Structure 1
Amino acid sequence: MTDLLEFGRSVLATQPFCTLLGIELTRFEPGQAELRLTLKPEHLQQHGFAHGGLVAMMADSAIAYAGGSKLGDSVTLEFKLNMIRPGIGEALIARGEALSVGKTQAVCRCEIYALQDGTEKLVAAGQGTLAVVGRGG
C-alpha cells in the first residue's frame, strides 16, 4: 500500500457519511482515484437498483479524491452527472481522474460502474470542479 493510499484512507475514515455507507478507497494515485461500495438492500431504491443519490455520492467522492490528490485540501464546487443505466449488481465502482489542475481549482471527471457477476457496466458519468479550502474565494 502506498503512502498516498494510506493517507486517502485515513481521510475517508474521518467522513462519517462515507463510513456509514461503507465506501472504500481502493486506488489513490496523483490525479486518479477509485472507490468501491458493496451494495446492500438499504442502498437500493424501490425498483431494486442503487439509489441515484448513492450514485451521485460515489461520483462526488471520486472527483474529490482524484482532484484532491494533486490540489491538496479541497472541496467540490460543482458537478454534473449523467445517469446512463440502473446500478444493478454486487457493488458500485467509481473512478475519478483529474483533467486540469491549477493553483486553486481542479476540473475532474468520473465514471461509475456496477459490478455484476464479474462484469462492469457503466452506470453514470460526470464532471466537476474542486476548489482549495481557504483560498480562491
Structure 2
Amino acid sequence: MLDPAPPAPFHDLLGLELIEWRDGFARVACEAGPRHMNRSGIVHGGVYLALIDQSAAYAGLYCTVPGNVRRAVTVDLDCRFAGQAGEGRIVAEGRVVSSGRNIFFARTEVFSSDGRLLAFGASTHRYRRGSHLPEGVPVDAPVEKD
C-alpha cells in the first residue's frame, strides 16, 4: 500500500499515480493523453506543476505507521520548463532537501518516458498539525485549520 490517505480527486482528474514512496523520496507518474495537451499539442505546463507539487509533497510525507497519514500544504513552488512532451508516460521524482519541525523543502525533476528532462522545480511545504512526526496521525483524524 503506497498511499494510505483518503482519495485525492485532483489526482484522479489528472491520472496521477504514486509509484514509489520512501522517506525523503517519491516518484509520481502520469500517462499523458489528449486531455493533458495544450492548444499546441504538447503536455500543458500545469501537468508538470502538479507532478512537481505532488511528488515533492509525498517525499516529505512518508508515514512510518500503516493506517496513519501525514499532511502538508504547499507554501511556495517554482518551476522551470526544460523540454516538451506529447502523449506518453511522464514521471516526477521528488526529494526532500531539508526539513524542520514545521517546514520541509524539496527539489523535483520531471522526465519523459525516454528520460529527457522536461521540467524541474523547488518547493516549500508546511506540515499540518501532527504531521511533522514520522508516525503521522490517524487517517480519519479531523484536519484542523492551523
Q: Which of 115, 121, 137 is the matching residue for 2:116?
A: 121
1:42 aligns with 2:42: no
Q: Which of 80, 83, 89 is the matching residue for 1:82?
A: 80
CA contact (8 A) 1:80 1:127 kept: yes
1:98 aligns with 2:96: yes
Higher relative helix content: 1
**Mapping 1:7-22, distance limit 5 Å:** 8-11=2-5, 14-22=7-15
d(CA) in 1 for partners of 2:87, 2:98: 32
* Superposition TM-score, scaled by structure 1 size: 0.84
d(CA) in 2 for partners of 1:69, 1:122: 25
d(CA) in 2 for partners of 1:74, 1:50: 27
1:75 Cα offset (Å): 1.4
1:48 Cα offset (Å): 1.5
* Deviation per residue, 1:57-83 (Å, 9 max, x gap): 11100111011227x321111111011
Work out which of the two has the higher radius of gyration on C-alpha atoms and give 1 or 2.
2
**Residue of structure 2 in register with 1:134 after alignment:** 129
Q: Give aligned pairs, total.
A: 127
| Overall identity of the aligned pairs, in % | 26
d(CA) in 2 for partners of 1:52, 1:112: 11
Q: Which amino acid aligns with 2:107?
A: R
d(CA) in 1 for partners of 2:87, 2:35: 14
d(CA) in 2 for partners of 1:97, 1:87: 23
d(CA) in 2 for partners of 1:82, 1:64: 18
d(CA) in 2 for partners of 1:10, 1:68: 11
1:69 aligns with 2:67: no
Deviant stretches of 4+, over 3 Å: none
Gaps of 5+ in 1: 1-5
State the superposition RMSD in angstroms.
Answer: 2.0
Q: Which amino acid aligns with 2:24?
A: G
SS in 1 for 2:107: strand
d(CA) in 1 for partners of 2:77, 2:7: 22
